[in-house]
Amino acid sequence: MQKRYLNDDLRHLHEKFYSEFPEHPVSYSMFCKCRPFWVVKPSTKDRETCLCIKHENIQYLIEKLYQSQLITTKRIETFIGNICCDIDNKNCMYRQCDICEKREVEMNEQDLTKQVSWYKWCTRREEKVKNDSIVTVSTTVKIEETGILGHLIDEFQESLKKFCYHYFNIVHQYQALKRLKENLNDNEVVIHMDFSENFNCKYEKEIQSVHFGASQRSISLHTGLVYHQNKVLFSFCSISDCKQHNPAAIWAHVTPVLKMIKEKIGTIDTVYFVSDGPTTQYRNKQNFYLLCTYFFTIGFKVGNWNFLEAGHGKGAADGIGAAVKRTADRVVANGQDVTDAKSFMQVLKDSNTSVQLFLVEEEDVDAVNKLLPDSLKPIPQTMKIHQVFCQEHHNLKVQSRHVSCFCKKPEPCDCFGVSEFQFDKSNATNIQSDSLDQSVIGKWCIVTYDNKPYPGIIQDIDANECEVQVMHRIGENRFYWPMVHDILWYHHSNFVTLIEPPTKVGSRHYEVDKRVWKRVKDDLGI
């Protein structure tokens, strides 16, 4: 029997039942007793979370268009098929096809001046008080937009064009990676991995100051599975008290996994990595550099990193994280303490888990971090890349493309347009880019927000973030100071470079040095 969730309070449902069927009077208590066993009350854990913002926003538009009787279906796939010649063709879905490029969804006739409202998820800046001063913080909220029906249609048509690109990437990446796992050679493995949400350490009994205070500790978990010839070779979980999730930490977590692969099957020389694509973790210049350098020191010949589409990176690796956390929570409930990475690892070993466990020390992360140059130029259009691959004897050269293809593996094919990038000493940017320590407080810098560069003054520094008071943009390389200070904490990966103070242009506006600004845009691929 399929489970059903109640969407209203039982008392309201009883009143509704009584109004619709007055000839069948039933008391409230009897009404509750007659509730079928498969109709259950939802809990907060039954909510849908970690949804894709692009899917949700376009679905809100579709629902309002459907309510307004402008369209006859709510299926997004129907609209994609209506405006594209072939949903399996990259040019069509990227809106680059000469035949269907300008197609739009046909709407039923309605009064386009009618006022309507619809929901939308968006990121916006809000003012908050911190240390007796007003600062601006970034938050993601669900808002209600209002406008005329014509504006709603325009927003839907524009959103659908962008969504086609998103939809094609989702389907193509899943299908390509599925075929890859089904057709692995003897010398190839796939590693599907992801950082699990940090595990909060727990005691069997906790005093109040530990339960609510800053004494709570957490540990980092990097989980995944290794596939060989369409079978799971082993699942793994690397555990660390170091909570960094940057490229150096990633390779510190992956190194023992790669060594175990070599121990189990010594002939493996090709590794296909699969992960989601956050720019602070997997999809950035430092990770690509380590892929074409450090990776080959472990004894492999071909490295190939593939990214799932943004918002759709959930997979088997998340199940490993859930399993080990559930095991640790059960052990705590049975009377043991889990206070750090070592005790977490020990309780999992004692539970006879089949997951391979590795302990990663902070020294391991530091060792990899020392291999990174002080400055690297990013690969152009990094945010659009879904596959990066390199070979041992290519001397720091990496190749990339917008979507994955394995039709000639392990040799690279020319499908979907391959771009090449060479890491070498000349890639070190000439823009000033000192190490981030207390000495840079008060200096001007460039940071990125929503992948756009902004100048600002560094206010504070900690291990992973820098606090910057940024200017607002009014045009290309034109900035001004807002009336309310815009001060945010930016992760170090969003820090681009130190700069000289911008030059004043007119009474209120400022301009970053033109040569520096051009170099920043080139580095960011914009």
- How does DSSP assign 26-54, residue by residue? --HHHHHHTS-TTEE---GGGS--S--HH
Chain CA centroid to CA 410, Å: 28
pLDDT confidence of residue 124: 77
DSSP letter, residue 35:
S
Length of the chain: 526
pLDDT tens track for 63-114: 999 999 999 999 999 999 999 999 999 999 999 999 999 999 999 888 889 9
* Predicted TM-score of the model (pTM): 0.76
pLDDT greater than 70 at residue 262: yes
Is the distance from CB of 446 to CB of 453 less than 8 angstroms?
yes
pLDDT tens track for 304-360: 999 999 889 888 999 999 999 999 999 999 999 999 999 999 999 999 999 999 999
Give the Å distances, CA to CA, from 239 to 24, 216, 227, 247, 507: 61, 17, 21, 16, 55
Question: Predicted confidence band at 436 (pLDDT cuts at 50, 70, 90)?
Answer: low
| DSSP element (H, E) containing 504 | strand 503-505
User: Could you check whether the bond before residue 410 is cis, i.e. omega within 30 degrees of 0?
Assistant: yes
- CA dist 509 and 181 (Å) reads 55
Spell out the domain ranges in the chain: 4-46, 53-170, 187-426, 438-524
pLDDT confidence of residue 238: 97
Chain CA centroid to CA 160, Å: 21
- CA dist 526 and 520 (Å) reads 9
Percent of the chain scoring above 70 in pLDDT: 96
pLDDT tens track for 192-220: 999 999 999 999 888 888 877 677 889 99
pLDDT confidence of residue 366: 92
Three-class SS of residue 289? helix
- CA dist 301 and 393 (Å) reads 8
- Mean pLDDT score across all residues of the chain: 89
Task: Find, among 374, 378, 314, the residue nearest to 520 by Cα.
Answer: 378
pLDDT tens track for 449-484: 887 899 999 988 876 778 899 999 988 999 999 888
